[in-house]
Every structure is written in structure tokens, then in C-alpha cells.
Structure 1
Amino acid sequence: MALLIKEGIYAMRRCFNRWATASVAIFAVMQPAWATPFINEFHYDNVGTDTGEFIEIAGLAGTDLTGWTLQLYNGNGGALYNTFNLGGTLTDQANGFGFQTVSGPSNSIQNGAPDGIALVDNTNTVIQFLSYEGSFTATSGAASGLTSTDIGVRETSSTPVGFSLQLTGNITTDSSGNVTSDFTWAAPAAQTVGAVNTGQTFNGAGGGNAGGGNGGTDATIAAIYEIQGAGHGSTFDGQMVETSGIVTAIASNGFYVQDANGDGNDATSDAIFVFTGSTPTVAIGDDVSITGTVDEFTPGGASSGNLSITEITSPTITVASSGNPLPPAVIIGSAGRTPPTSSIDSDNFAAFNPNEDGIDFYESLEGMRVTISDAQAVAPTNNFGEIYVVADAGADATGMNDRGGITISDGDLNPERLQIDDSLLSGNSPGVQTGDGLGDVTGVIGYSFGNFELLPTEAPIVTAGGLAAETTSIPVEDDRLTVASFNVENLSAQSGADKFAALAQQIVDGLRSPDVIGLQEIQDNSGPTNDGVTDASQTYQALIDAIVALGGPQYAFADVAPADGTSGGQPGGNIRTGFLYNPDRVDLVPGSVMAVPGADTDAAFNNSRQPLVATFVFNGQEVTIVNNHFRSKGGSDPLFGSVQPPANGGEDARTAQAQFVHDFIQGLLALNPTANVIALGDLNEFAFLPPLQALAGLGLDQILTDLASLLAAEERYSFIFEGNSQLLDHIFVTDNLLSADVLFDIVHMNAEFLNAFTDHDPLLASFLLPALTVPVPPALLLLLMGLALFAALQRKRLVMVKS
């Protein structure tokens, strides 16, 4: 079970196919006289283990390739990952042209979504920069700063061994030796290494007829709903088919077509995507017949964990008529089909049951026209222009909270929420926040980044829900100690005045200036730069100054700098946990601020934040706080992915970290059963999963209580990911504090809103701690802590399975 890939999630998403704009590459457009050499043919993916990967260069006979290279680029970040060296002189093999082929070991050419190839001459000048499965901008190598040209065709994990992508068309030299061309890239066909491609001519000398790799196989006539079938994969996969329908939506590299009547079976989709590789020439409302090959395309490849999309590739298209009415849209909502509200997948794909499992429900609508009735946003528009919504303003959804979001719970990860993506609207997604209404939204059902999605064919009309940031309901009283936990998302001295002012306003006004604040994601003074700086004093001071400027207290700070580059998080930022405290209200016990002893050598904290402990005195009573930022959920499988149930990335590491902190606190309680101890922070986990059960302790071993349990289940959230409101931040307390007339609040100020300066909401707890007449001497406390640490480190702890 997994939901959140918090750190690095957006970078990781770049490795999946975004259905980027794909245009057929006609090279004569790029330059008046086409330079040679040029990339003529290549192969990078096939069924099973990739076999015989290669890149072929063609050029005028006599061209010297000494010093030329082929540079390979990873579209996930744009970096150079491999280089092939060319060399020697091209001989006349095809009417004045020659070929040179380079290859490497298996999997030496990456499988796209997207990736690219740059042809670079002996002066380090880029002659061509082509890509497949999307375009991107290179960040290193000779092509640094250049944006690739998507060739518009691709190979997949079902491409037969021995096939390749090839240029087709004609190329000639004129009387002055210039080269002109009308070449285009064709779908995978039987490879022609070292020879003229199928359907290609050089100065009139050809290589045969363009066959597209189908070998003249007769097409099977089948309706779209027969091709789709009642399941996640088509039984026609790899076969040539002939079908027909009405064009309902147009993408940059294909179009959606739907059977005009359908079969009346909710389990089978009546629509399919036709991949053309370039902007299609059909129009919405065209009645078309299509002959092509059925393909189960997996965005990002088999290792991505994504589901496959049933497509028709290498199509031949005939338009029978235009201007036809579109098939009626299926209503998602109480007036039509209601999605499951609790189960995404209950049987690991053993049975196809759209009425029970959300993953089957949306698959049964793949490619079809649908209308989400009275859609309501359950999260703000994200950085990719995506909006998560529920139908009927959430009337039939489970887990809806008072602020318009939808909260997860044990066994219910909210399959009824659906992503809206603006890819058919040229990126014109409206900016919404949680609770805003979008009315009825009509489009087609697609799939991307591990999520089914609605691709609107007309822009939604937004009605503001009027959601406002909260101010805590917890009162400020002399005998009440207030403690907050707040992830400030990569705050450094370089973050800018606006961010410091916004966070300060939330602390002063929204949280009413807590006595102690446990902060997470504090970075060093220089921010995310690998410069050896680890000190964060300027970061803390900038936040303190901003608080004072708004009338807040003159806080002091306490932290321990991590070793450079060993704390995880944004590279170079030296992310750490730390404390702000109000010295007019609490006293910091000298010498108590430290990483919990033993964490520096415990495998659970390799490349992760070590827990920070400090003891404060309030009204003569001592309170020890352990500030944590557990390992992220990076590596989790997508909820609507091919692995069910999805893996919860980093769970073993978080369990080991939680057990370590549990043992430390248990050691303190062994010597002082009434000790006031708090464990707080961004724990990157849900209360109902093993890591936090280990932290609290099970059965007779339970020593901590999660204060979120004091709230209604729907209100337990501090973060929103893919539309799911969820609680990653926690405050756990020992029994003595639990009995101190405890008050608890999650103050919703960030996660639900556009343009927030952090993605987490802060947590606030208040404890009634009247003044003691005989306070515990700090020296005695330190002695007790030392003994407890020794005892804790002797306990057998879990060893992290996965660093």
C-alpha cells in the first residue's frame, strides 16, 4: 500500500510519457540544404530483453567521420548518459551515399519517455538533436540548452526483435552538391542495417516498398469494443485490425475514436486511441475507418509500474463522412455510473469487476467520452496543470472533510477521485483550490503517470468555493505550553523575503506564536549548492527577524548541523530538523540539544535526517522533544498501477527509524515513568501502517499516543498528494502529557491552496502544565537521559532492509 512519493516525485515523473507534442520530422524544414551525415535508422526497444540496439548514420560517400560522435541524452533531466564514437570515410553503398552503424551492449540505448540522440561533428557542433517519445531540453554535453525534435514514432516493449525505426522517402543531391529531402520517420519495420531502408530512395535508387512491418498480413475486422474487451489488455495485442468509429478528441500525436453505438456493456470500452505520431489530419465528428496494429503501450516502459494503454498504431485512415454527432458522454455521478468509493483493486487483477474496483471502473471507460457531473476540486491545481475532482460535489464520496477535500483512511484510498489533465487544451488548465466547483466537465478518459484522467475537450468553468486559511482555535494561556510541528519545505537563507514573510505570518497569526516549534526541511545558509556550507544560522535568523517584524516574539534557535551531503533531501541543502523556542516562555536545558545518540551509526539513518532531541523547562517542568523527519516514500508504486497492492516505498527504513526513536523514549520512561516526552515531525507515514505502529509501540509496549486520534477521521490531514488528503506530520506524546488537558489542532493554511510557500500544514498541541514548587534540577535530567540512552542503545532494534 502506498500513496506518497514526496521527495523527488516531480523529477521522477519526468521519466514517464507525458504524451508530449510529437511531430513527424521533415528535415527539409530544418535547413534549406540538408547537411549530411544524418541519423537514418535506429533501434532501442523490443519484446523481452532489448536485443541488437544500434544507430545508423547515412551520408554522402566520401564524408570523413573522424572525430564525430553520437551523444545519447536522458529526457529525465536532459543529461548526457552515453557517447558512441564515429570514424572513417563513408563509401558509396547507395547511389552516392554510404552508411555507418554503431552499437553497444544490451540496454545501452535507453527506452524513452523521452530520450534523445545528438549527432555531433568534429568541431563539437550539433548537426541533429532528435528524440523519441517526447521532446526535452538537454542540460549537458554538446546539445546543452537545445530542445530536441521528436521524430513522432516509437518502439515499445511489444516491438518484434529485428525491427527498427527508419527514415522513408527520397533524398537527392542537386548540381551544386546540396542535399534536399522529403524523408519522414516510419513506424517499426524489419531493420535494414547498412542498406537503404524500406520505402527509401537515394537519387532515385530505392529500397523496396514501404510496408510498415506488417508483411501484408490481412487485417481482422473487429468493433472497438471487441478490441478493448472486458479487461486491462486486449486479446488483439500485436494483431492488425480494421475498425471504425467517430473521432471524439484530437491530441498532438493521435486521436480518440469511439464506436457510434457501442455494445451496451459497461465492462467494455467503446473507444480507443489511435497513435499517428504527428498531428492527425482528421477532425472531430469524422466517421473514420482505421486499419492498423493493436498495441498495449506502457508509458515509461515496463519498469515504470504503469498500466498499459490499448492503442492502434501505424494506422491507415479513411474518412467516410464529417460533421457527425458525437456519441453521448457517459455520466460519472449519481445520474449515470458511480465509481467505487473504497477499493482501487481488491484481487490483484484476478477478476475484472468495474462495480467493485476503481482500477477496473476507469479501464472500462478507457478512451470514451464522459462527463463528470458537478465536479468539485479536492486539491489545488498542481505544477503540471492537473486537478483532482470528485463528482456531484462529493455527495456520494467517502472521506469528504469539512473543507472540501477527501481524506484517506485505512483500507480506503479514495478511488472515486479523478484527475483532470489539460493536455488537449494546450495547457490552459484553470487555477483552482480545494473546494472550488468546476461544473459538468466533459472529455475523454486517458491514462498517464499512474493515474486515469479526464482529458477535457472544453475548458471547465470554475466557481470559487471561498476556502480561507485557518487560524488555530487553541487559546494562549500562561499555564499552557504550546508546541508546534512545521515542515517549511526547503527553507534556506536564499529562499527570498516573500517566503520568510509568509511563514512568519502563519506562525504569528495562524499559530499564535507557539512556545516551541519543531521545524523540518531547514537548509543551510547557501541553500541547495554543494559548497561545503552546513551552518544554517542565517536561515534561522531570517525567519526569526520576519517573525519579529510582524510583532511576534524574539525566538532563539537550536539545531545540530548534519555532515555535508549525508542528510537526504535536496542535494547540497543539508536539510535538517531544528527548533525555534521563545526564551521568554521556556528555558533550553544546556547541553540537551543533540542528535539522538547512536543515530549517526545506525543503518536506518543512512542518507537520512537524524532525530534531534532537546529538553525545555516550562513552569518548572521539563519537556523533552524528539524532532524527526523520517525517510520519504520515494519508490512507491502508483496507486492505479500494474503492481497491486502497490509497494510502500521506504517502509522498512521508516519502521527501523521509528523503532529507534521508540527505544530511546522507552529508555527515558524506564528511569522516569512520568517523563514528559514528545515525538513530532514529518514522519512521512500514516498512523495505520507499521512504521508509526512501531513508534507508538504495540500492546503492552505502547508508550506514545498520536494526538491526531483526538480528531475526527476526516480531519486528520496535513498534506495533499494526487488529490488525497493525508496525515504525514504527527505529534506523539507520553501518557503524562496526554493527561495534561491536551488540546490539538491541525491548522490548514497551505496544502489546500495555490501558490503556498510550503506544502505542509502545521500541527499545534497545548498542554496545561502548572508551575511546580520544586522543579527537577537540569543536571539530574541530563543524568537520567544519559542512563536512558545507554539502556536504549542496548535494545535489539530493527535493521533497515533498504537504505
Structure 2
Amino acid sequence: MNTSFSRKAWRRAASAWVMLAGLSTSATAAGVVISQIYGGGGNAGALYRQDFVELFNAGSAPVSLKGWSVQYASANGQSWDVVPLGNVTLPPGRYALVQLEAGAKGSQDVPQPEVVGTVGLAGASGKVALVRTTQALSGASPVGQSGVMDFVGYGSASGYKGRGAAASPGNNITALHRREGGCVDTANNQADFELAGPIPRNGRVPAVTCPTSGAAASSGGAAGAKALKIAQIQGTGATSPVVGQAVQTQGVVTVLTNTGFFLQDPAGDGDAATSEGLYVALGQAPTVKPGQRVQVEGTVVEHNVGAPSNARSAAQTVTQLTQVSGVSVLGSDRAPVAVPVQLPLAPEAGLERYEGMLVTLAGPLVVTDNHYLARTGQLTLAVGERQFVPTNLHRPGTPQAQALAQQQARSRIVLDDASSVQNPDPTPHLGPERTVRLGDRTASLTGVLDYGLSGAHPNGPSEWRLHPTQAVQWTRPVPRSATPPAVGGSVRVASMNVLNYFTTFADGSSISGSKGQGCRQGASTSVENCRGADSTAEFSRQRTKIIAALRALDADVVGLMEMQNNGTTAITDLVNGLNAVAGASTYAAVPDPASGAGSDAVKVAMIYKPARLRRVGEALSDVDGIHNRPPLAQMFQTAQGERLMVVVNHFKSKGSCPSTDRARAEGNADAGDGQGCWNGQRVRQAKRLRQWVDGTLVPQTPQVLLLGDFNAHAQEDPIHELTSRGWVDVVGQRDPRAYSYAFEGLTGRLDHALATPALAARVTGAAEWHINADEPPALDYNQEYRQPACARCGPDLYTPSVFRASDHDPVLIGLDWASPPAPARAAR
């Protein structure tokens, strides 16, 4: 798979978001507060090019900011930079965006700001003030100076409001967020702010209504609280019947989180439609312990676990107790009995009635997503078996594909770690060999059922999730294999996506030691186009894994995708490294064709064993403009004198969806049938490939093999365009459930091997080697957000092995010319 920007940068931007679960209190008396601070703009790895400060009116009346300013000072600084806010009026429940200094990096601008300034913020530590004048403040901690309407110190700041400074973002992809979208102000920076990815909001964002009414509402807690059982607070519907009311309730503590705890009434009310569990949001670590019976007082809210614009999370809010004014330990009590729950649920059923309760999920429960294991401590589990992309097994839009999608949606649960901490240390849920592979399973799970984000992006998917009460015990029905599958044959051909093998790095250096370098993308040469390793150190780790995998494949020909398009530099480095372990001159690179390798930042490439195969003629390529990365073809002659044509491909990715009417008219918008964006272009690429191969290559030899990352699953239109016209899917023919890539909890096959019938008769075996797709990204070569680069983060799980060398599994095919061709195999 490939996108129009760095997969690594996307991972940083997307995975920087954290689950926002906090308390709700009042804002300042004037109603306007600093709701977000971001000082990483324009730096390495940043999504946005600019720093910004975001303001929010939590009050009930418009506030004119004319004559006001946002001011900034360094962590220990005493002089203040002033950004006048101009003639801005902020309506209630609305945001105003103050754009600040821009940097050279980042992939997009912040939304249209209300105010533009040139002040630069420090990402790790600093002080920001909202002031009712444009006169510069003075001193290191002017919190109480006249005209200061709000004040935020973060990191190691010498000045702050309340008991302590807000946490340090610590990197370029994290911002400070005032809890509950800006509604929380307890006059304590440490408690009022949390870390999440930057979400710059301007005046065009829909209005937000804070849980408390009015700007001057009291934050004194649950005065006049009504005594209710937990079931009465939860009610029988999707939302609590007592939202906004102060209540008092009792229960037994079941699970602790880093910002609160779950409470359950062990007696219950006897009504299966009402939940007996409730989350108590403290905004800080709790002091109670599981098994204690406690009485709590607070205000009932329905909490949206995602961004205000996240329609899915907004439709499934979580009942919580916030503004907690008292937690009293009454003694110990028997633990509530976990309720047995069996997935998949019937279509009309739901899990709302178990919200916040101890449940036992019957298994087997199988790991189907491990992408966020190290980042947010989450795994997605499915009942019975791992989950597949429906269009990998069925044609898009068919009743079978739709039914599978619906059934799978009802059959999964997110295993969480009861914490909103990013990059937790230690990494939770690890199994044998310090990993958790897709397909690993456990017999059953007991824990508290909750609803939250699946992943780390507040606008991303949200799911029901389970916080376990004890460590999970994993079994691995399919062991890891450090050797590829046996495919037989006298000639072995493979393909592998090498995950942006770039010899020019994101820090501007290169393998030659040069500095200030860039990567080519079209007419642009910039460090922003460099998609692979950040540094020489990371590249060394990446190179070690890629070479180990290629050496183990031991194929006679290998098609490669996502090689840096920098002439012979990257491919020569790879061949030299491979020959250093395989033996001098074992492999050689197929030269780029005379027509070139296209203008994309990455290209396809090919290596082969000269002692096993002889190149016949020069490499060929189709320069038709439909190709993002032109296919590469090379004819080889075997020891038996047979001629084989290998064609390496890399079709347009499913990401970076188009927005123009023309693109939609060309079938490139997401049609909702499971094929993603740019399907029309991939179909046209498949048609053009077929025409070129049939017209140019097949006349030279009928034995042609198409390899590569087609960015289309096995039953999708681009592959159907080829298989319906005689091309044989030699992997799917042997295993219709074969896979090479995993995304958002679903596995499928983007990497294919398609043969002419004449060549298909020579195939002795074809399979993927599952060293990558099943493994979590935490095992790859990247060093950010791991120890020792990040002291607060989880351990570095990297090993110099074949596992997680890339994100795609390699494909291996065996061909035999030593015996008569086998009869054609019927597709299963």
C-alpha cells in the first residue's frame, strides 16, 4: 500500500490522539478560556505547519475580544510576546483559532484562523495567557495580574494556575487540550488539561454546549444530591434519565483507570435492561481500591468519547459521574458477579445494558487488530476467528459481502488497558516472544465493559471495549515461522513491499553522510517527500530486517515495491547488503528501463540471481499516464531454456480520497462498497496493464507473471478485471482465504501473483509468508515513542529478525520446468 505522503508521518499524526475522558466543571466567569495549545507546528513529524492557540467561549453570551490579546513567554521567561486579537466577537459555545508561527515542515495548514500572529511557541514547556488588554505582561508568573482572564503553564513552566503546570506535550504531534472541549475550568492547569493530537477548531465548528449552564456556574460539586441506585442513574434507554442532576450513589469498585474508577451495585435492581455499573470520572488517579464499597456524590453527564464532530461516538455516549465532590469508603464487599455475554449479538440487541459492568465474554476470542497495542494499549478481538475484508472473499456490493461485514461488526470487542496514557510502560497484553500476533487467542475474558475510541484518533472509529480484571493468557495456534513456506519448483519468484526503503532520510541526511538532502516527488525535491527512516540509525534497523527477510526467501527473482526513486542508489545499497550475507554477486539489480521509473517518490524494482537466470533483452515499462508508478517487466531464461516474463506492479492506493466532482465522476470516490477510494483509477490501471502485456509482452513469451502490490483485494474490480479475462490467481487458487495485509482489524490480500494459463501450469506452489501483517507495528524499525528515545514510553520491542520487516507479507511462487506442465487447477 502507498499514500501520497509518508506512511510514517501519517502514523505519527494519527496515533498521537488519545482518549479524552475527563471531568466537567465550569469555565471562567467571563466565559472565554484557552482551550488548546500547540507548539509543534512546522517541526519534524508534525501534521500542521503552524503553531496555534485556540480559545473557547463556555459562557452563555457573546464576548467581544476587541482590545484583548494572547500572550506567550518561555518556561522561565519574564518578557511576554503579544498577539492582539483584533475585532473578534466569540459567540457562546464557539471557538476562535489564533494561528501563530509557521515552520518548514508539516503536511497541511491549520483551518482558516480568526487571528494570525507570528509568535512561536515552545512545544515542551511555556506559558500562555489570555489578557483583556494588549499591554505586555511582566514577570515569570503574572497569573494574578490585572486583566489576566486565563493562564496556562505547561511542562516545566515557572508560572501556572492552580496546584501545578499542565503536562508537557513532549513531541511535535501532541497538543494541550482543556478537558471536555473547553468546558472544564477548576483553576488548576494540571487537572484541567490533557494531551491529545492537535485538533485546531475555528469559528466554523458547530457550537458546543457545556454540561453546566452559564459562565458563572458554581464548581462546588453535587450540592443537594439525590440518593439513587446506579440502575436508576443509568435508566433503560441510551442516555441517563437524570443527566445534569447532582446524585449520590453506592457500589463496589471493580476496575481502576488512571483518571477514575468503575463502580457496580452487586445487588442490582433485577431489571436486565438497566446497567448496574457506572464510571466515576475524577480527572486524576483514584485512591480507592477494587473490592471497596464506596459512596460517591457528583453530577451525571453523557460523555462523548470522541471529538464533537464524531457522529459515531456522539450517537453512543457514556453515562459518567463527574464534578465528584465526595468519595467515602464504607468498607469491603463481595465482588459483583460477572454477567456472561456471548458474541455475536443479535442485530436488534446491544451492549448498552451492560455499560460499566463486569462481564465475561465467552470465546475463543481471537486477535484481529494489534496496530495500537503499544500506542494506546489496545487490541481488537473477534469471536471464533480473525476477521477478513469482505471484498477479499466476495464480490463488492453482493449480499454475501454485506452480510459478512454486518456479522463481523457484531462479533468484535476492543481489549483495553484501563488507561488513557499514550505509549504505556510496560506494553500491556504481550504474549509469547514479546508479541501478540493476529490469530492469537484466549478462551474467555472477564472485565468491565465500556465504550470508547478504537485507536487514538478522536474522529476515528469507536467500539465497545473491555478492561480486563486480570492478565490475559494467550495461545498461538499458528506458530511464528522464521522460514518461508515450501513452494517447490526449480525456480522461485517472490515479491515484497519493502516499506519505503529510502536512503535519504527524513532528517535531511543520507547514507553517504550528506546533509540538507531531499527526496524527489514529481518536480519537487524536498525532505518532506522522504517517506522512510528518520535517520541513519533507523535506516540501519530497517535495512537489517529487510535483508534478513530477502535472504530467507532465497528467491531467484524478487519484485520490490516502495523503493526510493533515486536512480540506482537505493537498489544498489539493498543488493550490496544482501550480497554481504548471501555471498558476493549472488544478486544483481535489473536496471531501470530506458523510459525511466516514473516521477513518484517511490518506484518498483527487481533483483535476480545471475547464476540461476539470464536476462533476455532490456527491462521494459509502460509509460502510459494512468500509472502512478510504471510497471517494470523483464524477460529471463531458465537453465532449461524456457523464457519467463516477470512484471512488477504497484497500483494507486486506497487513501487520500479525492474531493473534486471529476474524481467522483471517474469512480474514484469511496462508493461504500468496501473498495475504498481511487477504485476507478485502479480499474483503469488494470485494463491498461492487461492491454500492454497482451500486446507487447505475451507475443515474446506466453509465460508471464504479474506480481506486486495492486492495492485491491482479491475479489475487487481491478483484480476481477484480470482474472475474468484468463489471468490465474495462483495464490487464491490454492487458498481463497490467503492474506498479506491487515488494516483496521480486517485482513486481506493486496499483494498478488497472476499468471498466464501457460505459466500457471508450471506453478508448484504459491503462498504468503506471514512475517509482517500478523505482527504489531511496535516491532518495526522506528525509534520514536519507545525507550530510550522516549524515557516515559514503553520498551523497544525491535529485534534484528525477519518479523515486522514491512507491513505487507511477501509472496513466494514455485515454478517447475524440469517436468511436464501440470494440468490447470480449478479455482476453489
Same-fold status (TM-score > 0.5): yes
| Residues 656-671 of structure 1: pairs in structure 2 closer than 5 A | 656-669=681-694
Q: Give the distance between the partners of 2:106 and 2:595, measured in 1 at CA.
A: 27
Deviation at 1:463, TM superposition (A): 5.9
Question: CA distance change for structure 1 residues 610 and 476 in 2, over 3 Å: closer, same or farther?
Answer: same
Measure, in 2, the Cα distance between the counterparts of 1:696 and 1:53. Answer: 65
Q: Is the 8 A contact 2:305 2:317 kept in 1?
A: yes
Rounded Cα–Cα distance in structure 1 between residues aligned with 2:675 and 2:159: 44
The amino acid across from 1:422 in the alignment is: D
Q: Which residue identity does 2:811 align to in structure 1?
A: L
Q: Cα offset for 1:517?
A: 1.1
Residues matched between the structures, number: 624
Match of 1:328?
337
User: Does the aligned pair in 1 maintain the 2:377–2:417 contact within 8 Å?
Assistant: yes
User: Which residue does 1:523 correspond to in 2?
Assistant: 564
1:597 corresponds in structure 2 to: 623
Q: Residue 727 of structure 1 corresponds to which residue in structure 2? A: 749
Report the alpha carbon displacement of residue 460 of structure 1 after superposing the two structures with TM.
3.2
Structure 1 residue matching 2:590: 3-state secondary structure:
strand
Corresponding residue of 2:662: none
Counterpart position of 1:506: 549
Deviation at 1:469, TM superposition (A): 1.0
Equivalent in the alignment of 2:305: 298
Partner Cα separation in structure 2 for residue 292 and residue 390 of structure 1: 34
Secondary structure of the corresponding residue to residue 593 of structure 1: strand
- The 1-side partners of 2:482 and 2:561 are apart by 21
Matched to 2:624, the amino acid is: G
User: Are 1:688 and 2:700 counterparts?
Assistant: no
Map of 1:72-91 to 2, 5 A cutoff?
Answer: 88-89=134-135
2:496 equivalent among 454, 473, 486: 486
SS of the residue aligned with 2:559? strand
Matched, 1:154 2:180: yes
User: What pairs up with 1:530-541 in 2 under 5 angstroms?
Assistant: 534-541=566-573
> 2:205 matched to which residue of 1?
none
For residues 477 and 539 of structure 2, the distance between their equivalents in structure 1, rounded to whole angstroms, comes to 30
Amino acid at match of 2:590: F
Residues 402-453 of structure 1 show CA distances to partners (whole Å, capped at 9, x for unaligned) of xxxxx98744354434332224496431333336565654332232233433
Counterpart residue identity of residue 346, structure 2: N
Separation of aligned partners in 1, 2:63 and 2:246:
25
Q: Using the TM superposition, give the Cα deviation of residue 745 of structure 1 relative to its aligned residue in structure 2, in angstroms.
A: 1.5
**Among 310, 327, 347, which residue is 2:318 paired with?**
310
For residue 587 of structure 2, the aligned residue among 554, 560, 563 is 554
Query: What is aligned with 1:766?
Result: 814
Structure 2 counterpart SS, 1:246: strand
**Counterpart amino acid of residue 180 in structure 2:** R
Q: Measure the CA separation in 2 of the matches of 1:306 and 1:119.
A: 29
Alignment-derived partner of residue 258 in structure 2: 252
Aligned-pair CA distance for 1:488? 1.8
Supply the AA of the counterpart residue of 1:488: V
**Helix, strand or coil for the counterpart of 2:732?**
helix
Offset at 1:519?
1.0
On the 8 A contact 2:712/2:719 being kept in 1, the answer is yes
Deviation at 1:556, TM superposition (A): 2.2
Distance 1:264 1:518, change over 3 A: farther
1:497-541 CA distance string (max 9 Å, x none)? 5543443343333x3x222211112235xxxxxxxxx33524443
Hey, what does 1:366 align to over in structure 2? Answer: 355
Deviation at 1:486, TM superposition (A): 0.8
**Alpha-carbon distance in 2 for matches of 1:293, 1:231:** 15
Distance (Å, rounded) in 2 between the aligned partners of 1:421 and 1:338: 19
State the match for 2:732 in structure 1. 709
One-letter code aligned to 1:583: P
Q: Which amino acid aligns with 1:420?
A: L
- 1:597 maps to a residue whose letter is V
Question: Given residue 252 of structure 2, which amino acid in structure 1 is its aligned partner?
Answer: I
Report the Cα offset of residue 328 of structure 1: 1.5
Q: Report if the CA contact (8 A) 2:268-2:276 is conserved.
A: yes
Q: Which amino acid aligns with 2:577?
A: D
Q: Percent identity?
A: 21
CA contact (8 A) 2:769 2:809 kept: yes
The one-character-per-residue Cα deviations of 1:52-80 (angstroms, maximum 9, x if unpaired) are 79798799xxx996646887799x99999
Provide the TM-score with structure 1 as the length reference: 0.63
Alignment of 1:382-461 (within 5 A): 382-384=373-375, 386=377, 388=379, 396-397=384-385, 410=401, 411-412=403-404, 414-415=408-409, 416-424=411-419, 427-428=425-426, 429=428, 430=430, 431-434=434-437, 436=440, 441-446=445-450, 447-448=452-453, 449=455, 450=461, 451-461=463-473
Q: Distance in 2 between matches of 1:118 and 1:624?
A: 61
Distance change (3 Å), C-alpha of 1:253 and 1:536? farther
Counterpart-to-counterpart distance in 2, 1:50 and 1:134: 31
Distance (whole Å) between structure 2 residues aligned to residue 183 and residue 545 of structure 1: 52
Within 2, Cα distance between the matches of 1:738 and 1:49? Answer: 72
Letter paired with 1:483: V
- In structure 2, the partner of 1:105 is none
Residues 7 and 632, structure 1, Cα contact 8 Å, conserved in 2 = no
Give the Å deviation of 1:51. 8.2
Q: Specify the code of the residue in structure 2 equivalent to 1:302.
A: S
Deviation at 1:185, TM superposition (A): 8.5
Q: Secondary structure at the match of 2:550?
A: helix
Gaps of 5+ in 1: 26-38, 103-115, 141-146, 157-163, 170-180, 193-197, 200-208, 331-335, 341-353, 402-406, 525-533, 568-573, 637-644, 773-803
Largest Rg, 1 or 2: 1
What's 1:338 paired with?
A: 342
Matches of 2:144 and 2:20, distance apart in 1: 38
Q: Which runs of 5+ in 2 are unaligned?
A: 27-31, 36-53, 73-77, 85-97, 120-130, 195-209, 395-400, 456-460, 504-535, 659-669, 780-803, 821-828
Q: Measure the CA separation in 1 of the matches of 2:540 and 2:143.
A: 66
Is the CA contact (8 Å cut-off) linking 2:381 and 2:414 kept in structure 1?
no
Over aligned residue pairs, what C-alpha RMSD do you find? 5.4
Q: CA deviation at 1:762?
A: 0.9
Would you say the 8 A contact 2:25–2:323 is kept in 1?
no
1:383 partner SS? helix
Aligned match of 2:14 = 13
Does the residue aligned with 1:300 lie in a helix, a strand or coil? coil
Aligned-partner residue type, residue 523 of structure 1: Q
Q: Quick one: structure 1 residues 78 and 149, their matched pair in 2 at CA, closer, same or farther if it must change by over 3 Å?
A: farther
Q: 1:241: Cα distance to partner?
A: 5.5
Amino acid paired to 1:660? Q
Contact 2:690 2:722 in 1 (8 A): no
Q: What CA distance in whole angstroms lies between the structure 1 residues aligned with 2:100 and 2:440?
A: 44
Report if the CA contact (8 A) 2:251-2:263 is conserved. yes
Aligned: 1:467 with 2:479: yes
**CA distance in structure 2 between the partners assigned to 1:612 and 1:15 by the alignment:** 37
Residue identity opposite 1:491 in structure 2: Y
Equivalent residue number for residue 780 of structure 1 = none
2:346 aligned to 339, 344, 355, which one?
Answer: 355
Q: Distance in 1 between matches of 2:594 and 2:720?
A: 29
AA aligned opposite 1:295 = E
TM-superposed CA distance for 1:667, in Å, is: 4.6
Q: CA deviation at 1:549?
A: 1.9
Task: Answer whether contact 1:704 1:732 (CA < 8 A) is retained.
Answer: yes
